[in-house]
Structure 1
Amino acid sequence: MSGVEYLSATAVLRAFRERTLSPVEVYDAVVARADAVEPTVNALLERDHEDYRAAAITAGERYAGRGDAPRALEGLPVVLKEEQPIAGRTLRLGSLLTEGQIADETHPLAYRTLASGALVHARTTTPEFSCAGFTHSELWGVTRNPWNPAFSPGGSSGGSAAALASGTAYLASGSDIGGSIRLPASFCGVVGFKAPYGRVPALPPFNLDVYCHDGVLGRTVADVALFHNIVQGRHPADHVSLPALPIPAELGDVRGMRIALAVTIGDFPVEPEVEANTRAFAGALKSAGAIVEEVTVPLSLEAASETAFVHYGAIMGAAAVAEIGDARHPALMPYTRQFLAMSAEALERTGVVGGLAGEATVHAALAAVFAAHDALICPTLGTTGFEAGRDYTDGVEVAGRRFPMHMMAALTPVFNIASRHPVLNVPSGRAGNGVPTGVQVVARPYDDVTAFHVGAAAERELGLWNDPAWRPDC
């Protein structure tokens, strides 16, 4: 490695402006890195779509003062999740059932990324229909975690997080209906932001699904703030999208801020290494001047999972069945069939009104915490990893407890139910298997800036990405 691959996005853009690095040099370094690691990691798609080096040369001309002025992300290698359509490009969604499918419109996030001058040199892998917390499919194969290839990078934005961790992109996009930005960010030791519902515009009809969030990932809090500021804000394709709330460049002042520490949520199981790293994260915030108080959030894992699956059954399950015709189609991945079956069963068992009652319970529990606190921190997952290539249709074990569905190892769906809360995943350390752990920084509804202040303060005190040892061996 030359070291260029692991510079922050903000540092690379500064070097472009100061002309101490050129877009061509950076692109060549990223390509060489991808050539070296992609046979193992398998996170990138469509690397050969066009002549990206020519685009890097053009970007360099702009920084040299020839032609138009450089744009916000001019020449920076960025990857986009394949699930977010680009007009005229394939839209396979990780499935064998989508042969020949071509997008006829461009997602607002993708449009804004391309318009910013980013060098979108690849798209990234997902599980089939983005309905799993790991990333593999018959179509694209197994995507592996750069920190430990025996494990998955998480999902569904697993390719995006793995690209960041392996040094093949500086910024990446994701989407999140149950943790699909935060889970892979946690497992890959990067930062991912689930903005509050409506902040990042999306496409109909799923822009109207309050559990659905499109968003961004990066290796540092500042990088994520940079990218989020580009993609957020109202868009004509999304009538319910919210005005932008700019994240300031100066972040990390938490002096006097009251922060609630929940080492778990309710009876959600958490492995000892996850708890230890979460407590270290809380200690970092204390060192930064915050007042950290341990709290309990009285929620039931079983009840919260039922609530989420009722919603998935009503929205995603129905849409998927309409698209493919048969939720038991043999070409579907086993985990997809399980997800659709469990969603349909929950919807039939509990019903939409029962699901709303469950959502109200979640909101009430969080409201009690935020009545006295500016932010809440809790683990992103209770587990220290999902094995690469495994479907987990036989369930998952966390801290000695067995559950029927692998997503019950995550603490993330709570904040898709409570979708107006901004949530930032920030690395908290590593487990003994080498896989990173993460903490969710949750702020009050629509208070995006506080989440970034808390995340930046913990990141500064822990110093992980500033440590050259905080790099995968791949």
Structure 2
Amino acid sequence: MDVFSPPDGTDICGLNAAQVLSAYKKGTLSPIEVTEAALERAEAVNGELNAFTFIDRDRARNEARRSEARWRSGAPLSDLDGVPTTIKDIVWVEGWSVRCGSRTTTASPCERDAPSVERLRRSGAIFIGQTTTPEFGWKAVTDSPLFGVTRNAWDPSMTAGGSSGGAAVAAAVGAGSLHLGSDGGGSIRIPASFNGIVGHKPSFGRVPAHPPSAFGTVAHIGPMARSVGDAEAMLEAMSGRDLRDWAQGAGKLPRLGKRQADFTGMRIGYWSTPPVGHVDREVELSVAAAVRRMEEWGAIVEPVELPSIDLLELFHIHWFSGAANRLVSAGEVASEVYDAGFLLAAAKGREYNAATLVAAQVLRAEFGAFMDELLESYNVLVSPAAAIPPFAAGRDVPEGSGLSHWTEWASFSFPINLSQQPACVVPCGMTASGAPIGLQFVGARGNDSGVLATARAYELVSPEHFRMVDLTKRSRKRMDGVGATRSE
């Protein structure tokens, strides 16, 4: 780790976790200073962007004081000790109420951390607050009946994406360094793309999950950050076997290890055609330019295509059935309190019979085997992170697009939930209007280290894309109805 000493006038919130930890080791910054800066930034942007459902000022400050004492005594808990961290409002945190963006939930505090949160807490991460999600994390934009619309960090008139939209916005504006998200159909990767940050969906089973997701084994827990190294460090802290997660299996995924990679001789499969819909021209050009640069850096790039099966319907059967399952678990609640789109998805899910569900599971296994075999031939696949750039906030699809459902523009993400492979999204450019565009790297199951090493190699040669939103230069568009921070 490079020694870092922040010069006078440096925006502490602009430092990544590695820089913060280097400053802690040198004694030029303390966890109290960094936590206070993160809390101030979260409070400053939340009225406009609505990234947080709850900011836990008192608890974060207490944790920061304990972290500072550990650093002063030379006994930090880990290389994440004292790093401000956020948790998506769908994952259990002891002492916090988890509302899942729904008016059907209660404010009763959780009695225990989820496994991922428990591991971060043992590492000394400081939890500054909860970030927004659509109701039960059901869609790829972030607005909910309980907390309202979350807005893009680069342009508040645009959507943040979802369902980990609040986490992505918090990362992009510097309200914390590490951000825990979840991804059942692109929910880490899409908001990472829309807000110009790094988001990694791990191999299924890499990070334990409890309680089990109502949406089944398409759902993953993963890290979001502004640098690949920070996401990698967070993933390492959260990974491992937990007996509460039966779906995790025996926990025999290859161990994580920080690998060095460059593009010389790397075999890359270029996946440019989504299974449904079309790619926006600006997205297409930006990703194609990134791929050409990889070839210039020595990569061997070949076009690849997914099998000609109806992957959209296959995902819908899994996802809508999960929505129906989640609706049943909420009990008897008046329909008007729900997101209308969630109710429609659940209604569709109830139409599937047992034979349809089993047939979908069999077809999913065939698709997963195809993807496993494909990744035997390539180090990684590369694709757009999302087929389109951000669009107007408060909508599920762009106005006038002719699209009927968010899954139709999320078609570079949901197939990788079906196949359970690791996928990392990094920023690769901007549209003419100044909206971020993301690039996705996909690897073989278990090969999170290789995917992250490739993403880190891209970051090293394209550092200009990895930057925090400059809040002093951005045109600030005040919006009505962006929700309010919850205090407890």
Instruction: For residues 38-64 of structure 1, give each alpha carbon's deviation from its aligned partner in whole angstroms, at most 9, with x where no partner exists.
Output: 211111232145342233233222222
Instruction: For residues 270-315 of structure 1, give each alpha carbon's deviation from its aligned partner in whole angstroms, at most 9, with x where no partner exists.
Output: 1011111111221232243221122333445xx2121111112333
Could you tell me how far apart the structure 1 residues matched to 2:57 and 2:342 are?
Answer: 29
| Structure 2 match to 1:116 | 123
- 1:182 corresponds to which of 155, 165, 189: 189
The answer to whether the Cα contact below 8 Å between 1:254 and 1:453 also exists between their aligned partners in 2 is: no
Q: Please state whether the residue corresponding to 1:376 is helix, strand or coil.
A: strand
Q: Please state whether the residue corresponding to 1:187 is helix, strand or coil.
A: helix
Map of 1:300-315 to 2, 5 A cutoff? 303-315=310-322
- 1:354 corresponds to which of 356, 359, 362: 359
In the alignment, is residue 56 of structure 1 matched against residue 64 of structure 2?
A: yes
Query: Unaligned 5+ residue runs, structure 1?
Result: none
| Structure 1 match to 2:457 | 457
Which amino acid in the other structure matches residue 251 of structure 1?
Q
- The more displaced of 255-264 and 204-213 is 204-213
The answer to whether the Cα contact below 8 Å between 1:396 and 1:404 also exists between their aligned partners in 2 is: no
| Structure 2 match to 1:375 | 380
| Structure 1 match to 2:349 | 343
| Structure 1 match to 2:290 | 281
Instruction: For residues 317-339 of structure 1, give each alpha carbon's deviation from its aligned partner in whole angstroms, at most 9, with x where no partner exists.
Output: 2232232346x711101221232
- 1:196 corresponds to which of 168, 190, 203: 203
| Structure 1 match to 2:169 | 162
Which amino acid in the other structure matches residue 40 of structure 2?
A
Task: Report the alpha carbon displacement of residue 182 of structure 1 after superposing the two structures with TM.
Answer: 0.8
| Structure 1 match to 2:485 | none
| Structure 2 match to 1:145 | 152
Could you tell me how far apart the structure 1 residues matched to 2:364 and 2:381 are?
Answer: 19
- The more displaced of 462-471 and 374-383 is 462-471
Which amino acid in the other structure matches residue 333 of structure 1?
D
Map of 1:215-234 to 2, 5 A cutoff? 215-234=222-241
Q: Please state whether the residue corresponding to 2:182 is helix, strand or coil.
A: strand
Task: Report the alpha carbon displacement of residue 447 of structure 1 after superposing the two structures with TM.
Answer: 1.4
In the alignment, is residue 254 of structure 1 matched against residue 260 of structure 2?
A: no
Which amino acid in the other structure matches residue 83 of structure 2?
L
Could you tell me how far apart the structure 2 residues matched to 1:443 and 1:230 are?
Answer: 20
The answer to whether the Cα contact below 8 Å between 1:297 and 1:369 also exists between their aligned partners in 2 is: no
Is the alpha carbon distance of 1:331 and 1:232 closer, same or farther for their aligned partners in structure 2, counting shifts above 3 Å? same
Q: Please state whether the residue corresponding to 1:403 is helix, strand or coil.
A: coil
Is the alpha carbon distance of 1:7 and 1:81 closer, same or farther for their aligned partners in structure 2, counting shifts above 3 Å? same
Instruction: For residues 183-235 of structure 1, give each alpha carbon's deviation from its aligned partner in whole angstroms, at most 9, with x where no partner exists.
Output: 11111111111111111001144399321111111111111100000001111
Could you tell me how far apart the structure 2 residues matched to 1:269 and 1:369 are?
Answer: 23
Could you tell me how far apart the structure 2 residues matched to 1:374 and 1:207 are?
Answer: 33
Question: How many residues were matched structurally?
Answer: 463
Task: Report the alpha carbon displacement of residue 250 of structure 1 after superposing the two structures with TM.
Answer: 4.8
Task: Report the alpha carbon displacement of residue 101 of structure 1 after superposing the two structures with TM.
Answer: 3.9
Is the alpha carbon distance of 1:442 and 1:150 closer, same or farther for their aligned partners in structure 2, counting shifts above 3 Å? same
Map of 1:3-18 to 2, 5 A cutoff? 3-18=11-26
Could you tell me how far apart the structure 2 residues matched to 1:203 and 1:373 are?
Answer: 33
Instruction: For residues 375-394 of structure 1, give each alpha carbon's deviation from its aligned partner in whole angstroms, at most 9, with x where no partner exists.
Output: 1111121111132122x3xx
Could you tell me how far apart the structure 1 residues matched to 2:336 and 2:468 are?
Answer: 46
Instruction: For residues 125-180 of structure 1, give each alpha carbon's deviation from its aligned partner in whole angstroms, at most 9, with x where no partner exists.
Output: 11111101111122112111111101121111111111000110101001111111
Q: Please state whether the residue corresponding to 1:175 is helix, strand or coil.
A: strand
The answer to whether the Cα contact below 8 Å between 2:427 and 2:465 also exists between their aligned partners in 1 is: no
Could you tell me how far apart the structure 1 residues matched to 2:371 and 2:252 are?
Answer: 25
Task: Report the alpha carbon displacement of residue 348 of structure 1 after superposing the two structures with TM.
Answer: 4.5
- The more displaced of 168-177 and 354-363 is 354-363
| Structure 2 match to 1:30 | 38
Could you tell me how far apart the structure 2 residues matched to 1:275 and 1:375 are?
Answer: 19
In the alignment, is residue 78 of structure 1 matched against residue 79 of structure 2?
A: no
- The more displaced of 138-147 and 429-438 is 429-438
Q: Please state whether the residue corresponding to 2:392 is helix, strand or coil.
A: coil
Which amino acid in the other structure matches residue 216 of structure 1?
P
Could you tell me how far apart the structure 1 residues matched to 2:321 and 2:45 are?
Answer: 40
| Structure 2 match to 1:271 | 280
Q: Please state whether the residue corresponding to 2:461 is helix, strand or coil.
A: helix
Q: Please state whether the residue corresponding to 2:185 is helix, strand or coil.
A: coil
- 1:41 corresponds to which of 40, 46, 49: 49
- 2:302 corresponds to which of 282, 293, 306: 293
**What is the identity percentage for the equivalent residue pairs of Structure 1 and Structure 2?**
31
Query: Unaligned 5+ residue runs, structure 2?
Result: 1-8, 477-488
Is the alpha carbon distance of 1:270 and 1:258 closer, same or farther for their aligned partners in structure 2, counting shifts above 3 Å? same
Could you tell me how far apart the structure 2 residues matched to 1:51 and 1:229 are?
Answer: 25
The answer to whether the Cα contact below 8 Å between 1:265 and 1:298 also exists between their aligned partners in 2 is: no
TM-score by length of 1: 0.90
Is the alpha carbon distance of 1:338 and 1:314 closer, same or farther for their aligned partners in structure 2, counting shifts above 3 Å? closer
Which amino acid in the other structure matches residue 427 of structure 1?
P
| Structure 1 match to 2:440 | 440
Task: Report the alpha carbon displacement of residue 240 of structure 1 after superposing the two structures with TM.
Answer: 4.4
Task: Report the alpha carbon displacement of residue 364 of structure 1 after superposing the two structures with TM.
Answer: 5.4
Could you tell me how far apart the structure 2 residues matched to 1:307 and 1:208 are?
Answer: 14
Query: What is the alpha-carbon root mean square deviation over aligned residues?
Result: 2.5
Could you tell me how far apart the structure 2 residues matched to 1:468 and 1:150 are?
Answer: 18
Could you tell me how far apart the structure 1 residues matched to 2:452 and 2:308 are?
Answer: 26
Task: Report the alpha carbon displacement of residue 342 of structure 1 after superposing the two structures with TM.
Answer: 3.3
| Structure 2 match to 1:408 | 408
Which amino acid in the other structure matches residue 438 of structure 2?
G
Q: Please state whether the residue corresponding to 2:330 is helix, strand or coil.
A: helix
Task: Report the alpha carbon displacement of residue 350 of structure 1 after superposing the two structures with TM.
Answer: 7.7
Instruction: For residues 54-89 of structure 1, give each alpha carbon's deviation from its aligned partner in whole angstroms, at most 9, with x where no partner exists.
Output: 3323322222227x4443311111101111012332
The answer to whether the Cα contact below 8 Å between 1:165 and 1:219 also exists between their aligned partners in 2 is: yes
Could you tell me how far apart the structure 1 residues matched to 2:402 and 2:359 are?
Answer: 25
The answer to whether the Cα contact below 8 Å between 2:258 and 2:453 also exists between their aligned partners in 1 is: no
Q: Please state whether the residue corresponding to 2:337 is helix, strand or coil.
A: coil
Which amino acid in the other structure matches residue 452 of structure 1?
L
TM-score by length of 2: 0.88
Could you tell me how far apart the structure 2 residues matched to 1:137 and 1:466 are?
Answer: 29
Q: Please state whether the residue corresponding to 1:10 is helix, strand or coil.
A: helix
Task: Report the alpha carbon displacement of residue 245 of structure 1 after superposing the two structures with TM.
Answer: 4.2
